[in-house]
Copies of this chain bind each other. A is one copy, B any other.
Amino acid sequence: MAITVGVIGTGAIGADHARRITQTLTGAEVIALTDVNLEQAETVKNTLKLNATVYADGHELIANSGVDAVLVTSWGATHEEYVLAAIKAGKYVFCEKPLATTAQGCQNIVDAEMAAGKRLVQVGFMRPYDSGYKMLKQAIDSGEIGTPLMIHAAHRNQSVGKNYNTPMAIHDTLIHELDVFRWLLDDEYVSTQVVFPRKTTFAHDQLADPQIVLLETKKGVRIDVEVFVNCQYGYDIQCAVVGEQGIANLPEPQAITMRKNAQLGNALLTDWKDRFIDSYDVELQDFFDGISANKLTGPSSWNGLAAAIASDACVTAQQSGQIEKINLPERPELYR
């Protein structure tokens, strides 16, 4: 019996997830769709030859008793509302980033889920599903490098558009690191500081680029992350974990080493979509496998809340130039 899925929001990412479910993953089937642009929902339905109904809006879709699980891939500002509705309906829900646009919104979801008494929500943080990060996590957990003391990381994009401003370096870019470090280290943040190096001439007026974010965790791990979204040379994710007895590095993406034109080297990625493409398949399959096992284990609404609180503190730190506290509430039993 395939899990029946309703997709709320059939833009780029929603359409892609629908394709994924239909053509690549096992055990799930898209039977319901909706979008603010209903024509687009129809187009996705037809393109993928889905045996699916197009609903007038997300609430109708969620209300339909034939829908087992919901994918929220609509505009970010609507996420909270649909996730809450799905929880209320007792349905599993996969929500793309951000879980909600405010920490309070995330808290509302956490509260609702706790009231429901079981995990129903998975957030679309895909890095824990990336084969490289999984190897890195395993290297840490194996004890091979000893207790982690520091992380040196970088998140670099070739360039960004004119609408991308300074806080977005946190909310849209660093957010992935904020989630993945907690997972790698099994730890929580306690403070953050942001420093601004000399600004690249390739950045627009509204954007201080690059930035260096300095995080401190409960266990005392110090993390520095360079966020550089106009680095020109490629899309590049770096993560080195320094332990008491050694250092482990996130693997580079697979590439052909070539000797050519007086150079020895390999091509770097330039498009972020190529970097984690495989992990989207794995994260969504894991969501469906979790439903089948009646136990979700992927990124939870608690992860969404923790990332939101840390993000907010980082943006405050951008503005204050000071070290800012990150106050995460006690983690409830449900999320341990």
A residues neighboring B (CB under 8 Å):
23-26, 131-132, 135-136, 139, 144-150, 152, 158, 195-202, 210, 212, 214, 216, 219-222, 224, 226, 228, 231-234, 236, 242, 244-252, 254-270
Structural contact, B266 and A246, CB atoms closer than 8 A:
no
Nearest opposing residue in chain B for A226, CB measure: B150
Nearest opposing residue in chain B for A322, CB measure: B323
Structural contact, B255 and A210, CB atoms closer than 8 A:
no
From B145, B244, B260, B263, contact of A245 by CB (8 A): B260
User: How close is A200's CB to chain B, nearest CB, in angstroms?
Assistant: 5
Q: How many copies of this chain does one complex carry?
A: 4
From B233, B244, B254, contact of A259 by CB (8 A): B233
Structural contact, A200 and B258, CB atoms closer than 8 A:
no
In whole angstroms, what is the CA distance A246 to B132 when docked?
Answer: 23
Nearest opposing residue in chain B for A254, CB measure: B251
In whole angstroms, what is the CA distance A197 to B262 when docked?
Answer: 23
From B251, B263, B266, contact of A268 by CB (8 A): B263
User: How close is A102's CB to chain B, nearest CB, in angstroms?
Assistant: 30
From B197, B233, B247, B252, contact of A221 by CB (8 A): B197
A25-B26, A197-B149, A226-B242 as given contacts; A247 in contact with B255, CB under 8 Å:
no
Q: Which of A148, A212, A261 has the most CB of B within 10 A?
A: A261
User: How close is A57's CB to chain B, nearest CB, in angstroms?
Assistant: 30
A26-B26, A222-B212, A244-B202 as given contacts; A258 in contact with B132, CB under 8 Å:
no
From B26, B212, B232, contact of A224 by CB (8 A): B212
Q: Which 5 pairs between the two chains have the least Cβ-Cβ distance?
A: A265-B265, A198-B220, A246-B260, A197-B222, A247-B259
